[in-house]
């Protein structure tokens, strides 16, 4: 065979090999089907809007080239495995599983349909993946690193209310993703001189019993783990805490939105938008077993980047914010300290904003700037709310 003939044959082979890869990429006219498995009702916009936005930014729009089949079990977590099996029967292209319970159900339902987990505490401890770097199988995710977050949440609760020694922990015993965080919490509690007392909540029906148990334990504060509750349930829980003057802390965003004394956690809305990136890569033919599990930095860990003429080293910094209730207003103060290096723990920036009206707090939380040439990367940023809310 001549040299030109060999080159022609090689070109033909390459075209044939590339064909399936091109076919797997997003094609005009193709309609993709995503199964969305969650506990909250499909009509509940929390996070669903963020997921849709992330997909829309990548060119996927419902009614055009995308169908989202949502299956939910509000108040009936035991039904989630049935919904997972139904999504598999619908022959969806990928399943987005919200929360540890949904992810475990999806994993049990299929070994072939790609699964993207979101809002997961610890996928390794839960048995969902073998490691974050190489999840293996048909699962990938963006995870919250709950063990790290729960330690910091308890620490900040103790700082906000130093006299607290009895903390009631509201926990979901059916969620295996809470085992390791609970162990870490217990270790932190011993160091901080706090005695944790656990109350189990599995469904909305457990709330009244839980309230009775909290009062019987003479709790001085509440630490709330992710719970399978509806937004209405979280409002009831927050109302109970306010009525009984119990400082309340969580890293669970749905409960954080109910108005707790302190919230510390990752920007879950950004995680849901980022989920669209995972889905897009899978629909484009990416080998899911090679996809790392992302771990966004928790609240309080920020990047300080070069700005203007001032030169900031490319380093990691901790951000601490304190929102203190002063009658009808909040006072805000914050400081930045380097994580490592010779000047670690040295405050490099400290400032205060006084007398902020309550209605302006939400807007200020979304737009936080610093003087002296520093700006904060807010992609995974949500501020820490500490201090004392009015207890009426």
Amino acid 144: pLDDT: 56
CA end-to-end span of the chain:
90
How would CATH label the architecture of 8-144+269-290? 3-Layer(aba) Sandwich (3.40)
Amino acid 93: pLDDT: 94
Helix axes 268-283, 48-57, angle to 10 degrees: 50
Q: Is residue 363 predicted with pLDDT exceeding 70? A: no
The average pLDDT across 137-153 equals 70
Q: Is residue 354 predicted with pLDDT exceeding 80? A: no
Amino acid 68: pLDDT: 95
pLDDT band at 81 (very low <50, low <70, confident <90, very high): very high
Of 189 and 388, which is predicted with more confidence? 189
The residues spanned by each domain of the chain are 8-144+269-290, 146-263, 300-366
Sorted by sequence, the CB contacts under 8 Å of residue 15 that are 6+ apart come out as: none
Closest C-alpha to 392, from 276, 245, 172:
245
Amino acid 27: pLDDT: 55
Amino acid 379: pLDDT: 32
- The answer to which of 82-96, 211-225, 307-321 has the lowest mean pLDDT is 307-321
Burial status of residue 48 (CB atoms within 10 A of its CB: 0-12, 13-18, 19 or more):
buried
Contact 99, 38 (CB under 8 A): yes
Equal CATH topology for 8-144+269-290 and 146-263 = yes
Amino acid 285: pLDDT: 73
Helix axes 100-109, 80-89, angle to 10 degrees: 50
Structure tokens at 30: 């193709």
Q: pLDDT tens digits, residue range 365-374?
A: 333 333 222 3
| DSSP state at residue 94 | E
Amino acid 147: pLDDT: 57
Phi and psi torsions of 62, nearest 5°: -65, 140
pLDDT band at 211 (very low <50, low <70, confident <90, very high): very high
Closest C-alpha to 251, from 240, 236, 237, 267:
267
Share of the chain above pLDDT 90, in %: 21
β-bridge partners, 331: 324
pLDDT band at 149 (very low <50, low <70, confident <90, very high): confident
Q: pLDDT tens digits, residue range 113-122?
A: 999 988 776 7
Q: Is residue 179 predicted with pLDDT exceeding 60? A: yes
Amino acid 292: pLDDT: 46
Q: Is residue 31 predicted with pLDDT exceeding 70? A: yes
Q: What is the CATH number of domain 146-263?
A: 3.40.50.2300
Mean pLDDT value across the chain:
69
């Amino acid at each position: 065979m001549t040299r030109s003939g060999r080159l022609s044959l090689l070109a033909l082979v390459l075209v044939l090999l590339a064909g399936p890869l091109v076919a797997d990429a997003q094609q005009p006219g193709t309609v993709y089907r995503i199964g969305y498995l969650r506990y909250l009702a499909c009509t509940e916009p929390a996070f669903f809007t963020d997921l849709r936005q992330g997909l829309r930014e990548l060119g996927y729009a419902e009614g055009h080239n995308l169908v989202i089949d949502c299956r939910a079990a509000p108040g009936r977590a035991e039904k989630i495995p049935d919904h997972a099996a139904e999504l598999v029967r619908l022959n969806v292209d990928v399943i987005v599983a919200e929360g540890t319970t949904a992810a475990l159900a999806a994993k049990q339902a299929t070994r072939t349909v790609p699964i993207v987990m979101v809002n997961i505490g610890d996928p390794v401890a839960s048995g969902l993946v073998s490691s974050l770097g190489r999840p293996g199988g048909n699962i990938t995710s963006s995870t919250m690193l709950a063990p790290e977050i729960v330690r910091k949440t308890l620490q900040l609760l103790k700082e906000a209310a130093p006299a607290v020694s009895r903390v009631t922990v509201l926990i979901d015993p059916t969620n295996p993703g809470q085992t390791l965080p609970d162990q870490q919490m217990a270790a932190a509690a011993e160091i901080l001189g706090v005695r944790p007392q656990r109350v189990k909540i599995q469904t909305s029906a457990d709330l009244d019993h839980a309230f009775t148990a909290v009062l019987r334990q003479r709790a001085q504060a509440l630490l709330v783990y992710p719970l399978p509750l509806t937004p209405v349930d979280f409002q009831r829980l927050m109302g109970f805490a306010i009525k009984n003057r119990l400082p309340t802390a969580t890293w669970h965003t749905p409960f954080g939105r109910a108005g707790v004394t302190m919230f510390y956690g990752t920007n879950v809305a950004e995680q849901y938008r980022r989920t669209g990136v995972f889905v897009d890569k899978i629909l484009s033919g990416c080998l899911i077993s090679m996809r790392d599990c992302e771990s966004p930095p928790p609240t309080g860990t920020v990047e300080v980047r070069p700005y203007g003429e001032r030169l900031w080293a490319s380093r990691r910094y901790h951000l601490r914010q304190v929102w203190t209730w002063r009658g009808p207003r909040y006072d805000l103060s914050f400081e930045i300290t380097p994580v490592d290096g010779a000047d670690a723990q040295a405050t490099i920036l400290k400032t205060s904003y006084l007398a902020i009206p309550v209605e302006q707090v939400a807007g200020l939380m979304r737009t936080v700037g610093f003087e002296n040439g520093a700006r904060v990367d807010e992609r995974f940023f949500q501020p820490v709310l500490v201090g004392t809310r009015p207890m009426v």
